[in-house]
Amino acid sequence: MSEWVLGVIGGSGLYDIPGLTGQWRTIDSPWGEPSDQVFDAELDGQRVVFLPRHGRGHRISPSDLNSRANIDVLKRAGVTDILSISAVGSLKEELPPGHFVVVDQYIDRTFARAKSFFGTGLVAHVSVAHPICPRLAGLAAEAARKAGADVTEGGTYLVMEGPQFSTLAESNLYRSWGCSVIGMTNMPEAKLAREAELPYAAVCMVTDYDCWNEDHAAVEVSAILEVMHANSTKAKTLVAEMARRLKNLPRPASPIDTCLDYALITAPEARDRELVAKLSAIAGRVLST
């Protein structure tokens, strides 16, 4: 058993929670610049580390997010588990704007992003068959309901490249695949969290029906922002409730904590020293042995 340190990746205002105390910290990463400083905080005695995914003021486009640096700095901050909070479009009639979906699967359609910490010089393969930590997802769903949200547990998140929204043909294609929601941010974030041995769960806040729904207007930023504002209070309450639950719950070991044990393929004598050095936080546990 160990203590939780919850990393929260989400919007710029999530750290504005009554009773939250903390400070902004700059953490350097060998993978480049993260989206922002981290807000290292405490809430009711539980440590929570916030990272604004797009930077304060929403400066960074989805394709330009340095997810490797973001995950790396959270690992360096001592985070044990990551909660992602993001806005998405709905691909199902029964998931209306304002609904929260705790997804359990992804289809990754991104193509312009660095997707692994590993590569030539140190090859590794981790399983992402089940990219979401069910233990963390269950706790997040309970906290979301406590915050007053209507919640669906389970669903597939189609991650598109963006920054444009879908064409009608694309939206209908993704619906035919059985996807629940569509967004631009959770990949490669979830894959990188797994490589960093950090359990990851995602709460997706529906802002609109994607363009497939002819009974609703085409996706407009103004309408999305209106729903996002309405959801922000629930999101903050969710984080606060999550912190309270974790404070009173010992953290049991997870198989994700040691998923690199049999993932490294490159022989020790053939490993690139510079890449090994960059991986000091992400894979230091296995590389040191």
Backbone angles phi, psi at 125, to 5 degrees: -130, 115
Beta bridge partners of 41: 22, 48
Instruction: Pull the structure tokens for residue 117.
Output: 């910490």
- 151: which strand partners? 100
Is 210 labelled as part of a ligand binding site?
yes
**Residue 215 counted as an annotated binding residue:** no
C-beta separation of 156 from 178 below 8 A? yes
Is 76 annotated to bind ligand?
A: no
Residue 229 counted as an annotated binding residue: no
Question: Is 208 within any annotated ligand binding site?
Answer: yes
d(CA 95, CA 210): 11
Instruction: Kindly give the pairing relationship between strand 46-52 and strand 6-10.
Output: parallel
Q: Binding site annotation covers 110?
A: no
Q: Per residue in 127-160, is it b (16+ CB within 10 Å) or e — as a string?
A: ebeebbbeebbebbbbbbebbebebbbebbbbbb
187 is in an annotated binding site: no
Q: Which of 16, 210, 257, 261 is catalytic?
A: 210
State yes or no: 87 annotated in a binding site.
Answer: yes
- Token pair for 275: 């890449």
Is 40 part of the annotated catalytic residue set?
Answer: no
Structure token digits, residue 204: 């997706």
How many beta carbons lie within 10 A of that of residue 229, not counting itself?
A: 10
Catalytic annotation on 150? no
Catalytic position from the list 72, 150, 208, 272: 208
Beta carbons within 10 angstroms of residue 173's beta carbon: 14
Cα→Cα distances 33→98, 137, 160, 206, 248, Å: 33, 29, 23, 29, 35
| C-beta separation of 27 from 79 below 8 A | no
Largest CA distance in the chain: 61
Kind of pairing between the strands at 151-153 and 181-183: unpaired
Binding site listing: 12, 53-54, 86-87, 184-185, 208-210
Binding site listing for phosphate: 12, 53-54, 86-87, 185
The set of catalytic residues is 208, 210
Binding site listing for substrate: 184, 208-210
